[in-house]
Amino acid sequence: MVRKGFLALGALVLAALALAWSPAPTLQEAEAVVEGVYSRLPRVAVAWEGEPALRVFRGEGCPLPPKGSRPVAVRVGGQLEVVEILAERARNEFRRVRAAEVLLEAKRFLPDGHLRVYLRVEGLPRLELREAYTLGALVGNVPRRAYRLTYLDDWERREGGYAGTLVFYLDLRGVEPRGELTLVFMNESEADCVYAFGVPLEGFR
């Protein structure tokens, strides 16, 4: 029994250490995340965060940085990020959760093959223009637009415009979960400019 326990623990550690986006997480992967939240295993990197390295994807004479508002930070995560959020909430409330139940809830909220993109932007002239942002991912060299847009409650007025976080939901079923994913976007400007930046799919689970 002890040997089986060590083997099971070793499998969870391996699941925690191997990085590459998991479009349809297994129960073992979810267990590794939950164990990390409760500090019984190393934490699993369930999202990638960074400053987007913007480039012009399409358009003549398009400026960098873009005219108008611009992204200054990005965070990308999938189902395992949702598992972590649910487990964190439970631990904060002094409750234990099983990986099976939080994984099921995560799959209901964010289906297999879907990613959530948090895009922090600055310099937006008006809050109403948040809806003007269009973001998608290149799938087979064809942009696939996000199917949902929401916002965090961190929006505030600053010198130069509003700043806050847009949250996009992407259906990336069929995408190879390795290498770099190219995200493309248009901001609120009337200029015919499309910008892009890369996200390393091997930077998180």
Q: Tens digit of pLDDT for each residue in 73-115?
A: 999 999 999 999 999 999 999 999 999 999 999 999 999 999 9
Q: Which residues contact 195 (CB under 8 A, 6 or more apart)?
A: 54, 55, 56, 57, 62, 66, 184, 185, 186, 187
| pLDDT of 177 | 83
| pLDDT of 3 | 42
| pLDDT of 13 | 53
**Torsions phi, psi for 4 (to 5 deg):** -65, -35
117-143 pLDDT per residue, tens: 999 999 999 999 999 999 999 998 899
Please give the helix or strand (H or E) that residue 87 lies within, else none.
helix 79-92
Residues of the domain holding 40: 2-203
Crossing angle of the two packed helices 2-17 and 27-37, in degrees rounded to 10: 90
| pLDDT of 15 | 47
Instruction: State the Cα–Cα distance between residues 205 and 202, nearest whole angstrom.
Output: 7
> How many domains does the structure of the chain reveal?
1
20-70 pLDDT per residue, tens: 899 999 999 999 999 999 999 999 999 999 999 999 999 999 999 999 999
> Token digits for 47?
């999202």
Amino acid at residue number 69: S
136-190 pLDDT per residue, tens: 999 988 999 999 999 999 999 999 999 999 999 999 998 888 899 999 999 999 9
Crossing angle of the two packed helices 79-92 and 27-37, in degrees rounded to 10: 40
Please state whether 174 falls in left (phi above 0), alpha (psi between -120 and 50) or beta.
left
Q: Which residues contact 49 (CB under 8 A, 6 or more apart)?
A: 73, 74, 75, 76
| pLDDT of 19 | 72
Is the pLDDT confidence value at 14 over 70? no
